[in-house]
Structure 1
């Protein structure tokens, strides 16, 4: 398997090169040259596997330049840090299923991809004796998961930008209390979109990128998408077995389109009917919801909410979907994305919207509905949702019909104790590991939303 750019101006590269490249040199995103469609026999063979075995089989479709035994070792090491045997257990709650993605070291779904990526980075760097500097932006959970994935690892320094005082206190503490010498937290005086724009600008500065051997752990890194596909397969197999059905729906709270894009690729691999549709759930930052329902992908001001990981107006993985939506037409993708960069808006025709709606349903959920969902869901089932998962559950229930519904639980409620306690009317108990964070020393740098200031900081600290 080789990899290409959505904009068509990058020579084909290997999986190993893809892992370190991040953004393609032509400004596009890197995608596999083909997405395999699995046969009935292949699907039934995958159904019988445990999580790590399933990951190995799926990765092998996309990784041809790492030996199977090495890939297996990387997977085993990555998931040793998880608190449960099944890695991402599927739990029946009331009349829906919850896919729990928060059993990794930072209590959020990002751990599933970033524990794998951290081990993968170290393995490939030690083989070649190279060094890298990881640069990323986070709206809350990616940063801590990335930091925990690479802290203390050899030949790696990591620089994570987060919007200052615009993530939850626990999310911030999970990053800033990691004081390993190879970890740099940068609090930007702005929004997540400002952080993301700085990161993109630095990756587009090819001289700077090469000089400091920059790579990314943001969801634009293909290895993250690949790792996230595994739990869609896992959830489909578990629920279709229990329900004795062929088709399901999956609700995904998403702001950056990365997690749901992994679901979209899984839908292609499994065949259209198995994941009947994906339900794209957004908070009031509803650019993706407007796209699905009205063909309106236009940037508005970011509104801070109680589900901060979704407070995003420019979805960095959207370009990948555009590429597949237009039948892998790189020229068309480039034209559309360059126009969007200038005009901050893309308008889709009625016919195109109908085509989008064959893949997705979508609903936007406001703060009042989010709090009400946490409260009512607990009252009815005794299960506590975090505010992002609550957005997914509320949107999912709007489209509940004959298909079994799986909702992705993207974070543990203890990552948002103030919001969850407010919704429930009582204080939730925090796991001991999270309680301890409040007493630890912190290390972070506050910088303005200025590309040159961030560039100077990285220049000084990079390895």
Structure 2
């Protein structure tokens, strides 16, 4: 398996070189030359596998044998050895038509742990076997930062800097990042929103001289490994309930940066027979508007009760557009140039019909989000975080007869008590989260200014 850029101007790379490149050197995103297709018979054999075993099976189709199996196995079992559930991502039945896949049993209580615990081990492995300097640079709307820091803190040969929007993440999300005092961790709190942080990151990765000089590596979902690791729990969820008779299986995904939902799209292309892929978002509803109208156009930023989805520019949209355009890198580059020049992308005709066949989408209003949290606590004694509540609202909108929907629970509700408290519900924090409030914080507040951020990076990376 080799990997190429969506924009067609990068020589094909192997798996490890793709990991190290992160954002493609031509500004595109790396994708496999060919997506492997898993046969129905193999899917049936996979039904009996544990999460870790399934992970190894899926990755074996993508790693080019660059990583010896025993080394990969050790990384996988180490990555998930500290999850609070033996299943890693346990499936909770809410009612006859709804399951919730709990993705929040990792060390930072969010779905990002599933991919980033592994990526931390992978980067550490690459640093050792290749003698590579690993300087990780990423932006977060809340959960990625904490999970990435947790995955690499204290690891030899790795430094990590995370940008987060100042006062625009939940308090628990902020504390999970900024109470870490390891010398290889730098938190920059940027006066702006997530899109501002992400824009700086992309510009720095596109500056090949700067990227090379400071050995920058990506931890965001621009890195294909993040996408691939997330496909595992799509297969795992489907295979856990895939024997539920003749019912079709939908998956509803809270999504802001298009990474998690794109992982589901990739799983579908690999042969996983998901019925509907449902995008759940909030009032920053660029993805809903694209699915409903064919226009991808960033709008005004709105702060919501589900801040991890407060995103207007979805990084992984380019990967989906590449496949929508039948892997035509020239057309893709034209569309992306149009986005840069005109501030929007429009698809119509057959392309728009394909978009609507690929996805359903719902932008959930703030009050609706709170109402869903209250409803499911009252009716099912099941507490949802606000992002998961958006996913449940989308299930209610698009779930049909003779269908079962799996909604991804992307975070533990304790991470977003500001929203939960508005419903009148009082929750008890897990001990690791309660302890955060007694710890000192370590972060640097910077203006939304690329030059100021660069100065901080130069001092940190050395």
Residue of structure 1 in register with 2:414 after alignment? 414
Deviations 1:257-290 (A, max 9, x none): 000000001111125xx20110011100000000
Q: What residue is the counterpart of 2:53 in the other structure?
A: 53
What is the alpha-carbon distance in structure 1 between the residues aligned to residue 365 and residue 136 of structure 2? 34
Distance, in Å, in 2 between the alignment partners of 1:197 and 1:407 is 30
Deviation at 1:351, TM superposition (A): 3.0
What number of residue pairs does the alignment pair up?
459
TM-score, scaled to structure 1: 0.98
Cα distance in 2 between the residues matched to 1:400 and 1:384: 20
User: CA offset at residue 250 of structure 1?
Assistant: 0.4
Question: How far apart are the structure 2 equivalents of 1:48 and 1:336?
Answer: 43
Preserved contact between residue 7 and residue 329 of structure 2 (Cα < 8 Å):
yes
Q: How does 1:197-212 map to 2 (within 5 A)?
A: 197-212=199-214
CA deviation vs aligned residue, 1:2-26 (integer Å, no higher than 9, x gap): 1100000000001001111111010
Aligned to 1:5: 5
Shift of 1:404: 0.6
Unpaired segments ≥5 residues, structure 2: none
Contact 2:247/2:404, CA 8 A, preserved across alignment: no
Query: SS at the partner of 2:388?
Result: helix
The Cα of 1:456 is off from its aligned counterpart by 1.1
Secondary structure at the counterpart of residue 167 of structure 2: coil
Aligned to 1:29: 29
Q: CA deviation at 1:176?
A: 0.3
Secondary structure at the counterpart of residue 60 of structure 2 = helix
Look up the match of 1:192. 194
Equivalent residue for 2:240, pick from 230, 238, 243: 238
Contact 2:54 2:232 in 1 (8 A): yes
SS in structure 1 at match of 2:403: coil
Query: Is residue 293–residue 353 contact of structure 1 (8 Å, CA) maintained in 2?
Result: no
CA offset digits 1:389-436 (Å, max 9, x no partner): 00000011101112111000000000011211221x132110011000
Map residues 382-461 of structure 1 onto 2, 5 A cutoff.
Answer: 382-401=381-400, 402-423=402-423, 425-461=424-460
Stretches of structure 1 that go unaligned for 5 or more consecutive residues are none
Instruction: Work out whether residues 283 and 364 of structure 1, in 8 Å CA contact, stay in contact via their aligned partners in 2.
Output: yes
Q: 1:248 aligns to what?
A: 249
- Aligned equivalents of 2:376, 2:343: Cα separation in 1: 37
Correspondence for 2:95: 94
Partner of 2:174: 172
Q: After TM superposition, give the deviation of residue 311 of structure 1 in Å.
A: 0.3
Partner of 1:182: 184
Per-residue CA distance 1:295-335 (angstroms, 9 max, x = gap): 11111111111100000000000000000111111111111
Q: 1:363-401, CA deviations, whole angstroms, 9 ceiling, x for partnerless residues?
A: 110000000000011111000000000000001110111
Equivalent residue for 1:115, pick from 114, 117, 134: 117
| TM-score (norm. length: structure 2) | 0.98
Q: 90-99 vs 345-354, which deviates more?
A: 345-354
Aligned position for 1:283: 282
What is the deviation of 1:246?
Answer: 6.3
Q: CA deviation at 1:237?
A: 0.5
Comparing 205-214 and 394-403, the one that deviates more: 394-403
Which deviates more, 37-46 or 188-197?
Answer: 37-46
**8 A contact 1:295–1:350 mirrored in 2:** no
Supply the distance in 2 between the matched residues of 1:377 and 1:246 (Cα, whole angstroms). 23
Alignment of 1:358-377 (within 5 A): 358-377=357-376
| RMSD (Å) for aligned C-alpha atoms | 0.9
2:298/2:343 contact within 8 Å kept: yes
C-alpha distance in structure 2 between counterparts of 1:421 and 1:164, whole Å: 22
* Contact 2:231/2:267 (8 A) holds in 1: yes
Distance 2:241 2:379 in 1: 21
In the alignment, the residues of structure 1 paired with residue 167 and residue 421 of structure 2 have an alpha-carbon distance, to the nearest angstrom, of 20
- SS, match of residue 61 in structure 1: coil
What CA distance in whole angstroms lies between the structure 2 residues aligned with 1:394 and 1:426? 19
Q: Which residue of 1 aligns with 2:303?
A: 304
CA separation in 1, counterparts of 2:139 and 2:128? 25
